[in-house]
Amino acid sequence: MKDLPLAKVYQLLEPGPVVLLATASGGRVNVMTMSWHMMVDFEPPLIACIVSTGDYSFAALCKTKECVIAIPSVDVADLVVKIGNCSGRDVDKFSEFAIASKKAEQVAAPLLPQCFANLECRVVETRLVDKYNLFVLEVVKAWIEPKQKNAKTIHHRGYGTFVVDGEVIKLKSRMR
């Protein structure tokens, strides 16, 4: 994986892919699937996301204020669903599903090299956690896998239905 400039992070998350969120707390790593996230600012990249009190990752995220957001392509969609179908409360998902991991540079949570992009994040805003489980994260380091340049992401439509990225079109937009 190579460095991705922080100014380009929004281009990965703005299209709304299903992502994985990895945490490490008290010697225990965990990973969950997540579709409720959005960009909040370009640079430094800020991301809002919902991690619910029902998610086993909630406590680790609150305690460590760190996580990794990893973006899987459709090639690992089966793994993504397995990760989403169980809780870290009951299963060591890394061991159960033989998930590869790699030491991150700035956070304790692991990078997931099976994903084509990995974003090391710190929690910077918690005012809306109590009422909405809404965290704002700052991406402090971003990684991209050049070998997966044309990775197709997946987008959840509910109850196991996913839309895979299709045609790429270019329009005369003046928007960044």
Contact footprint for a copy of itself (CB under 8 A): 8, 10-11, 14-17, 33, 35-41, 46, 48-50, 74, 77-78, 81, 84-85, 125, 127-128, 131-132, 134, 136, 152, 154-176
- Which residue, among 24, 16, 37, 32, has the nearest Cα to 85 in the 3D structure? 32
In this structure, are strands 46-50 and 2-3 parallel, antiparallel, or unpaired?
A: unpaired
For the chain, how big is the Rg over CA atoms in Å? Answer: 15
Tell me the closest approach of the beta carbon of residue 71 to a copy of itself, in angstroms: 12
**Interior CA angle at 155 toward 25 and 91, to 5°?**
30
Smallest separation (angstroms) from a copy of itself to the CB of 95: 20
Nearer to a copy of itself, 111 or 154 (CB): 154
Choice between 34 and 104, CB closer to a copy of itself: 34
Asked, as a colleague might, if the bond just before 44 is cis with ω within 30 of 0, I would say yes
- Closest to a copy of itself by CB, 147 or 172: 172
Interior/surface letters 84-107, b for 16+ CB within 10 angstroms, e for the rest: beeebeebebbeeeebebeebeeb
Nearer to a copy of itself, 102 or 132 (CB): 132
In the complex, least distance from residue 66 CB atom to a copy of itself, rounded to whole angstroms: 20
C-beta of 56: minimal distance to a copy of itself in Å?
14
